[in-house]
Amino acid sequence: MTLLVGVVEGEPPSRDLLEPRPDVHYVFIDPWTPPPAEAADAEALLVWNVRSGYLRDHWSDFTRLRWIHVGTAGVERVLFSELIASDVVLTNSRYVFDEALAEYTIGLMLALCKDLYTTFQHQGEHRWVQRETETLSGKSVVMVGVGPIARRTAQIARALGMSVRGIGRTARSGDPDFGDIAAPEGLRASFADADYVVMVLPSTPQTAGMVDAAAIGSLKPTARLINVGRGSTLDQDALCRALREGRLGGAALDVMSPEPLPADSPLWDVPNLIISPHMSGDHTGWQRDIVDLFTRNLERFQRGEPLLNVVDKSLGYAPAEHA
C-alpha cells in the first residue's frame, strides 16, 4: 500500500534530495499557496520551514495526518493548540545540528577572548597594534541547558582546558561532561564566578526570560555571555544595558527577538556585542542530513516502530535522559 507524504517545501526546494520510493508518493507543497487537494489524504508531513506558520494556517486541510517531521530542532512555532491536543506524532531534527552548533559556539568564545573584533577593526584601518589577549584554558563556563548541543560544546570546552558546569531541569553531580549540574533555582549562584555563560535553551513557558536582569547582574564585569538557544530565554534589554554600562565583558547573540533583527534596531550598535543571523547550526549538507533522518523515521513509521526524536508536546521539545 502506497503511503502519501506531504512535503512543505523550504528554500531551496528539497524534491531532488528525496529519492523515489515504490511504496511512497510525495506531494510537494508550495509554502505560499494552499495545499493541493491530494495533500488532504497525507498521513505524514515533512515541514522544512516552521517560521512560515503554514501548518497552523492549513491544519484543517490535512484530514488523515498521523505524523509530522520538522526540519528544525526547535518546535515552538508549530506547537499550536490543535496540534498539541491531537494524536499526531511530532518529531524534530535534533542531533543534526549539534556538531556545527558546538563548533560555532566555541568559535564565538574564541572570538570574544581573543578580541577578534578589534583585530579586524585595526586591519580595516591599516593599523599595526600588538596587544595581549586572553586564553580559554583555565576559564570556567556555565552551560544553561544540558541537552546534546550543550553536551558537545562542553566536551570541546573541556578539551580546551576549561572547567564546565551546567544548569538543567534537576540538580545532580558527577556528570561526565558537565560535572555538577544545578537546578534553575541555582542559576544566579552558578553565574557568580563564571567566566563564560552559554545559553542553549529551547523556547518554552518555563524558559521564557530565564536569564533575566538579576541573573545578568550576578555575573562578573569580565564575564561573557553567549546565546545560541532561543531569544525568548534572555532579557535582551538587560544584557544591552550591562554592556553599555561596562558591567559585562562581552556577549554574542546568534538568536534574538525579534528575528530577523530590523536594520534600525539599537542592538546592532551595542559595544562588545557580536550578532549573527541565527546561523550557528547551518552547515554544508544540513538538508541531506535532515533527509537521511526523515528517511530513517519514514521506514520506522511504515513498519509501525517507535520514531526517533519524538517531541513531548507538553514540554515543547524532544527530551533526553537527564536534560
Known catalytic residues are 230, 259, 278
CA distance 25 to 193: 56
SS3 content of the chain, % helix, strand, coil (to 5): 30, 20, 50
How far apart (Å, rounded) are the C-alpha atoms in residues 112 and 226?
10
Residues 6+ apart with CB under 8 A from 232: 203, 207, 208, 209, 257
Give the C-alpha separation, 95 to 72, whole Å: 10
d(CA 71, CA 154): 25
Look at residues 76, 89, 106 and name the one whose alpha carbon lies nearest to residue 45.
89
* Cα 108 from Cα 3, distance rounded (Å): 44
Helix (H) or strand (E) holding 8: strand 3-8
Nearest alpha carbon to residue 35 among 11, 10, 62: 62
Q: Which cell numbers in the block locate residue 15? A: 524534491
Distance CA 289, CA 75 (A): 18
